[in-house]
Amino acid sequence: MSSPTTTMFSFLLLLSVSLSYATPTVYEVLESYGFPVGILPKGATGYEINEETGEFKVFLDQTCKFSIEGYDLEYKSTISGVVSQNRITHLKGVSVRIFILWLTIGEVRKTNHDLEFIVGIASASFPLDGFLESPTCGCGFDCDDDKKYVVDVSNLMSS
């Protein structure tokens, strides 16, 4: 019969070994390729990646739309592309609205202090520090989680 101390030690050892083999989150994978977590909205439900080719798919529970600094963005429920160090190519599933047109962002490049988003032959660069945090679907960074809603029930009551 094993002692309680031996049983507890065995359990903690097994737990630490199993935790060391935990699958990284998609946000951790992004960081391993040099990207900040904020290029992907909160709430990714899963991902697949071929580490040899860099081909990936990221899954969201639904299409995600939000606005940031005057840009309307849309992430489809499945985003795919090819990732390598500081570069994402063949990107599908991420669009930006420019005036009245929705255009697909096809490539993202990270330079020293910027992220460059490429749409066809056009591109725009933004400072990396704007992507340190992931936006929230529906509200981007303008979410008001502490907002209190007051409902006037006086009109609902009958006399």
Query: Is 156 a residue whose pLDDT tops 70?
Result: no
Q: Domain 22-131 falls in which CATH fold?
A: at5g01610, DUF538 DOMAIN (2.30.240)
114-125 average pLDDT score: 94
Query: Is 1 a residue whose pLDDT tops 70?
Result: no
Distance CA 91, CA 78 (A): 11
Q: Which pLDDT band holds residue 144 (cuts at 50, 70, 90)?
A: confident
Q: What are the boundaries of each domain within the chain?
A: 22-131
CA distances from 97 to 52, 68, 79, 103 (A): 33, 11, 17, 6
Distance CA 86, CA 114 (A): 11
Q: Which residues contact 26 (CB under 8 A, 6 or more apart)?
A: 40, 44, 46, 47, 58
Tokens standing for residue 98: 């420019």
**Percent of the chain residues past pLDDT 70, beyond the cut:** 77
